[in-house]
Amino acid sequence: MRLVVDLNKCQGYAQCAFLAPDVFAMHGEESLIYNPHAPEEQRERLARAVAACPVQAITADGLDSTGERHTGSAQGASDAR
Amino acid sequence: MPADYMGWLRREGRIVIVGASLAGLRAAETLRAEGFAGELTLIGDEPYEPYDRPPLSKAVLLGMASPHHTELPHRREIDAKWRLGVAATGLDLAAKRVRLADGDEVEYDRLLIATGVRARPWFKEEEARLDGVCLLRTRDDAVDLYRRLKAGPRRVFVIGAGFAGSEVASACREMGLPVTVAERAGAPLVGALGGVIGAVASDLQLENGVDLRTHVTVTGLEGDAVGRVRAVHLSDESVVEADVVVVSLGSLRNTEWLAGSGLGAGPRGIACDAGCRAFDFRGIVTDDVFVAGDVARSPHALFGYQFLSLEHWGNAVAQAQTAAHNMICHGADRRPHLWMPAFWSSMFGVNIKSVGVPPMGEQLMITQGSPAERRFVGVYGYQGRMVAAVSFDNTRWLEFYQRQIERGAPFPVEFPTTDRRPEGRQPVDADFPDPSLPSHGPMVTLSGYSPADQQLVFHPARH
Ligand SMILES: Cc1cc2nc3c(=O)[nH]c(=O)nc-3n(C[C@H](O)[C@H](O)[C@H](O)COP(=O)(O)OP(=O)(O)OC[C@H]3O[C@@H](n4cnc5c(N)ncnc54)[C@H](O)[C@@H]3O)c2cc1C
Ligand code: SF4
């Protein structure tokens, strides 16, 4: 499964690293590194991490919690992050 | 043209996207999400489906991710015709056709250009071809570099201490490899963050065992009898033996294929209006050609309407979404691309982030924390206004500073902050080099008002 983290949004809360430690890891105090190609057996854990990320920074195939947010027409300036 | 052109375009028009990477993919998804039902074609010269680049210099080199697998997740079905592994070689604006390297031509009703940038190669071609001389922009580059680092070279040499070069140096140290970094400026990251923050980055490298050489340029690469690189010659006459050399001298915009097309495209990118519509070479806006991502150059209201070129991941995503939206709607429903520039990097275990446009800043104040502790926020000011902020391991504060920048908050910073140290009460010179003499490819290019202005061309020093 493919995934990507918007590291501009990510605040280093480490919630994902706690829920899916084989996919996400903290590197230093607040840098997140992750495997953008998570094995299929991680789906469950990854889904939990996607749902639990306080800033919804994680997008994964078929588990997108953010996809719909970009479709509004009044997004303009609020895309600013 | 049909009476209801937009209705027709949305139902059965043809949209072509050139550049099948981050901006191209996100634009395609937005088009479908907003109801575009016509024919969508994505053209990309790399043979791979869109993949993410930031991990190539971080998770990949740290062994956390495979360089073969950084493909981007898809936010939705895009039902596109993919033309991968074939470059666009020309554009006929009048006939609305894109020419491809294999001789094919693709017609469009609306075109999005998202061809990004490529790594600036080592300027002496023969030396650049030596075995062991690497670039890092593409997946193929990352596969090659990772393999070479895993093989345990005796020493790695990084030319250029911008973000990418510094990230590579960091990964090398983590792998236990001896690494030398050469930088023309006085410190790493100077072009992006100025000399004051650069000094912090310098200390970080030295503490982590990087052999950092500043105020020097590389004058030549020396090969052995079988064509492998073996040594690097510097302007201070020193010679460093190395068997891997990573050339990290910034980037070149992929606009050559547009030469002669009549678009306002050149070495500094493709100029467009705030709605992502490309300008032609006369500075007149086109209505069916749009631009997004690293290749674009667009005016920003918050920063004096200067044309900004940003090589930032978040900009590629936001600009692609805005361009796609504007491509399929009427004038009054269009929206401007007013994204707040934002960037992240991580090196030596430190998370570095910025918002706004630091190189625009003249002065800097450390408003929270302390550089000595590698945990702080610095604020950049220009003509009495806050224009940017940078954080080292202090990301949670950035959103607050972003709002201040959006409001045009005054500088020097007057509001009280937690963890403000005595040395942070006064602004200091941010210490950016003369912008006409960049020390490496700048991450942000400011270029004044005229979209047709192509006078400021980067000439790498060759001494
Ligand atoms: C190693 C590395 C690390 C990075 N780290 C960070 C980071 O930490 N934070 C951050 O904010 N940003 C980072 N970036 C920058 C970020 O990756 C870019 O901003 C982003 O990729 C821009 O996307 P884009 O789609 O505009 O351009 P690109 O990703 O450059 O894609 C353009 C695509 O178009 C193709 N193309 C070019 N010419 C043609 C043609 N004539 N015909 C067909 N196809 C063509 C190219 O081959 C490429 O695939 C990093 C980049 C690299 C290389
Ligand atoms: S949970 Fe979200 S904010 Fe926290 S580290 Fe993971 S991606 Fe970042």
Taking only the tens place, the pLDDT of each residue in B297-317 is 999 988 888 899 999 999 999
**Mean pLDDT of the A35-64 span:** 93
Same domain, B11 and B103: yes
Domain range holding A50? Answer: 2-78
Same domain, B302 and B190: no
**Contact partners, residue B187, CB within 8 Å, separation at least 6:** B161, B195, B198, B199, B201, B202, B214
Confidence of residue B5 (pLDDT cuts 50, 70, 90): very high
Atom of ligand 1 nearest to the CA of B19: 34
Integer Cα distance of B89 and B67 in angstroms: 28
Find the helix or strand (DSSP H, E) in which B307 lies. Answer: strand B306-310
pLDDT at B458 over 80: no
Contacts of B26 (CB under 8 A, 6+ apart): B75, B316, B317, B320, B321, B324
B141 and B109 in a single domain? The answer is: no
Q: Are residues B79 and B11 in the same domain?
A: yes
pLDDT tier for residue A79 given thresholds of 50, 70 and 90:
very low
Q: Determine what percent of chain B is predicted with pLDDT higher than 70.
A: 94
Cα(B435)–Cα(B433) distance, rounded to whole angstroms? Answer: 6
Cβ(B136) to ligand 1 under 6 A?
yes
CATH code of residue B274: 3.50.50.60
Of A35, A59, A80, the CB nearest to B59: A35
- Flag whether B400 is in a domain: yes
Q: What is the CATH number of the domain that holds A58?
A: 3.30.70.20
pLDDT at A73 > cutoff 60: no
Query: What pLDDT is recorded for position B444?
Result: 72
B114-163: per-residue pLDDT in tens? 999 999 999 999 999 999 999 999 999 999 999 999 999 999 999 999 99
The residues near B370 (Cβ < 8 Å, ≥ 6 apart) are B376, B421, B423, B424
Chain B contact present for A27, CB below 8 A = yes
Out of B74, B351, B406, the one facing A28 most closely (by C-beta) is: B351
Indicate if the pLDDT at residue B457 is higher than 50: no
Query: What pLDDT digit, counting tens, does each position of B370-403 carry?
Result: 999 999 999 999 999 999 999 999 999 999 999 9
Identify the pLDDT of residue A75.
Answer: 33
B15 lies in the same domain as B108:
yes
* Cα–Cα–Cα angle for B158, B160, B166, rounded to 5 degrees: 70
Average pLDDT over residues B68-81: 96
In whole angstroms, what is the distance from residue B301 CA to residue B17 CA?
27
Over residues B233-284, the pLDDT tens digits come to: 999 999 999 999 999 999 999 999 999 999 999 988 999 999 999 999 999 9
Same domain, B390 and B410: yes
CATH number at residue B407: 3.30.390.30
CA B176, distance to chain mean position in Å, is 28
No. of H helices and E strands in chain B?
8, 30
Q: Is residue B441 part of a domain?
A: no
pTM comes to: 0.93
Q: Which residue has the higher pLDDT, B436 or B230?
A: B230
B350 to chain A, any CB pair closer than 8 A? The answer is yes
Q: Is the pLDDT of residue B438 over 60?
A: no
Share of chain B above pLDDT 90, in %: 86
Q: Is residue B262 part of a domain?
A: yes
- Residues of chain B contacting A29 with CB distance shorter than 8 Å: 349-351, 375, 393
Domain match, B278 and B366 both: no
Question: Which of A6, A8, A9, A10 to probe ligand 2 with, by most ligand atoms within 8 A of CB?
Answer: A10
pLDDT at B416 over 90: no
CA distance B65 to A21: 14
pLDDT attached to residue B232:
98
Which residues span the domain enclosing B376? Answer: 349-436
Q: Which residue among B219, B250, B281 closes a domain? A: B250
Q: What is the complex's ipTM, to 2 decimals? A: 0.91
Query: Does B15 have pLDDT greater than 50?
Result: yes
Count Cβ atoms below 10 Å from residue B120 Cβ, excluding itself: 19
Count of the separate structural domains present in chain A: 1
Domain count, chain B: 3
